[in-house]
Amino acid sequence: MTLLSPDPSSRLKLFLSLDCTVLPTSTTENGQALLDKTVQLLRHPAYMLFQGKKLLSTFGGERAEFGGWGWEGWLERLNRELGEEVGRPHWSCSEMIADEKVFFMPGFFLPPDNINAMKHVDGMFNWNSAW
């Protein structure tokens, strides 16, 4: 078994945490390149689900712009692409809330109240609690 061709009977699941301290996140081209790779990985059968959604995290990235998309626009595009895999129509972000494919739990380095106020964030990943 390899990570790219898992044994279907395996219970091992993986999720992606985007290291936004090193990934370029300033332009729409950066956003599209990251989106393309993320979609490919999230469609993998060994991808971890949390509450029925694909779990996606970050390390940092609170200042990611993606050329004006920001995280909300980037996640809208990600959910739209994931929805296309099952023939779902294109929806606006507000119409798609009930049909989201991603549980977004970033590790932003911001005060918890600031993160909690972000409508596109489903949970908080605390990287600094281990040391």
* pLDDT level of residue 56 (50, 70, 90 thresholds): very high
pLDDT in tens, 84-106: 755 444 444 444 444 568 999 99
Q: Determine, yes or no, domain membership for 3.
A: no
pLDDT score, position 11: 85
Q: Which tokens is 82 given?
A: 């994931």
d(CA 37, CA 56) in angstroms, rounded, equals: 13
Query: Could you list the residue range(s) of the whole structural domain that residue 110 is in?
Result: 16-129
What integer is the mean pLDDT of 32-60? 95
Q: Determine, yes or no, domain membership for 5.
A: no
- 21 to 64, 84, 110, 123: CA distances (angstroms): 10, 30, 14, 20
CB-CB contact of 115 with 127 (8 Å): no
Q: Determine, yes or no, domain membership for 85.
A: yes
How many domains does the chain fold into? 1
Q: Determine, yes or no, domain membership for 69.
A: yes
Q: Determine, yes or no, domain membership for 10.
A: no
Q: Determine, yes or no, domain membership for 30.
A: yes
Q: Determine, yes or no, domain membership for 8.
A: no
Percentage with pLDDT > 90 across the chain: 68
pLDDT score, position 89: 47
Query: Which pTM was predicted?
Result: 0.82
